[in-house]
Amino acid sequence: MSYKFEYTFPDHIKGDTFTGVKFDLSDVQRKGENLDLVGASALMELRAMHPNGTLVDSFSDGAGITIDEGNTTITFDEQVVNVDVALYHYSIKIILDGGEILTYIGGTWEICINPTI
């Protein structure tokens, strides 16, 4: 798949706290203007092994994702990530105030076994 922002999350140990990551969309143009996130929501889907794989978990604004910084950034918040050990594909959908859906952010994320268990 091709996204405006392709990002590979750093490998993460199952059950540990992920420190979060911020996506700055302040330079994204849509219809000749800066992308306006006022009133928008966001949904991140985590899928097993393939972009069309089984949905394993999801995060939304207020529940793991924050739209902030003057409505120009989307942050996957600091949180404990405790999904099964695997390679995942994720995408972050932006749902604009008018209902338009834009999938600008996506990539992979590997969750690893805790070596001390």
Task: Identify any residues that bridge with 34 across adjacent strands, giving them in sequence order.
Answer: 29
Q: Evaluate whether residue 45 is within a structural domain.
A: yes
Please report, for the domain that includes residue 48, its CATH number.
2.60.40.10
Residues listed for the chain:
117
Q: Evaluate whether residue 68 is within a structural domain.
A: yes
Q: Evaluate whether residue 117 is within a structural domain.
A: no
| Model pTM score | 0.87
Burial 4-32 (b: 16+ CB within 10 A, else e): eeeeebeebbbeeebeeeebebeebeeee
d(CA 84, CA 53): 14
What's the domain range around 85?
5-112
Task: Taking residues 14-29, report their average pLDDT.
Answer: 92
Q: Please report how many Cα atoms fall inside a 13 Å half-sphere around the Cα of residue 115, on the Cβ side.
A: 1
d(CA 46, CA 92): 9
Number of domains forming the structure of the chain: 1
Q: Evaluate whether residue 105 is within a structural domain.
A: yes
The string of pLDDT tens digits covering residues 38-56 is 899 999 999 998 878 899 9
* DSSP code, position 113: -
The string of pLDDT tens digits covering residues 66-111 is 998 678 899 999 999 999 999 999 999 999 988 999 998 999 999 9
Report the candidate in 3, 2, 10, 4 with the shortest Cα–Cα distance to residue 109: 10
d(CA 96, CA 31): 14
